[in-house]
């Protein structure tokens, strides 16, 4: 299993760069993962990342994109709960990129 160095800590990731142990995640790790994805983290990015972490802690899965947009629309309003907004924040796929930055496994149903 490959490892990456973040702030002096050695962290295991899988071959696609997702964290192996969710418990390794902290904001520094998220910043590192975001840089790897070439995503500049803003407040709006953090909002989605934190939403995903809450979703995971409640349901023990990373949501499919359709489910994510619907859930975000419900909580943060339709301006944010739509594909356009989420793809602007995470151009290579909100489910994949945001989940990776949030330290979650790759979403189930991500084809």
Partner 1 sequence: MTDELEMEEGGGVVKKFMFLNRKAPYGTIYALEGLEVVLISAAFDQDVCMAFVDDGVYQLMKNVDTTGIDMKNFSKTYRALEGYDIEKLYVEKESMEARGLTEDDFIVDVTVMSSAELAALMNEQDVVISH
Question: Would you say 41 or 73 has its CB closer to partner 1?
Answer: 73
Contacts of 63 (CB under 8 A, 6+ apart): 52, 55, 71, 95, 107
Question: Would you say 28 or 108 has its CB closer to partner 1?
Answer: 108
Question: Would you say 23 or 42 has its CB closer to partner 1?
Answer: 23
Could you say which of 4, 6, 20, 64 contacts partner 1 (CB under 8 A)? 64
> Contact, 106 vs 97, CB < 8 A?
no
- Best CA proximity match to 95, nearest among 62, 72, 47, 54: 62
Could you say which of 4, 61, 73, 76 contacts partner 1 (CB under 8 A)? 61
Stretch of 10-18, 24-32, 39-47, 62-70 contacting partner 1, by CB under 8 A: 62-70
Q: Outline where DSSP puts E strands in the chain.
A: 3-6, 9-12
Coil, helix or strand at residue 7: coil
Active site residues: 110
Binding residues for partner 1 (CB under 8 A) = 58-61, 63-64, 66-67, 70-71, 108-109, 111
């Amino acid at each position: 299993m490959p490892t990456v160095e973040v702030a002096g800590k050695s962290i295991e990731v899988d071959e696609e760069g997702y964290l192996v142990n969710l418990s390794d995640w902290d904001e520094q790790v998220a910043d590192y993962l975001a840089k790897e994805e070439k995503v500049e983290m803003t407040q709006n990015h953090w909002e989605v990342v934190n939403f995903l972490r809450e979703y995971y802690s409640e349901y023990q899965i990373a949501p499919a994109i359709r489910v994510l947009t619907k859930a975000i629309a419900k909580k943060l309003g339709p301006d944010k709960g739509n594909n356009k907004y989420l793809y602007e924040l995470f151009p290579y796929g909100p489910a994949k990129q945001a989940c990776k930055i949030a330290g979650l496994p790759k979403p189930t149903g991500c084809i």
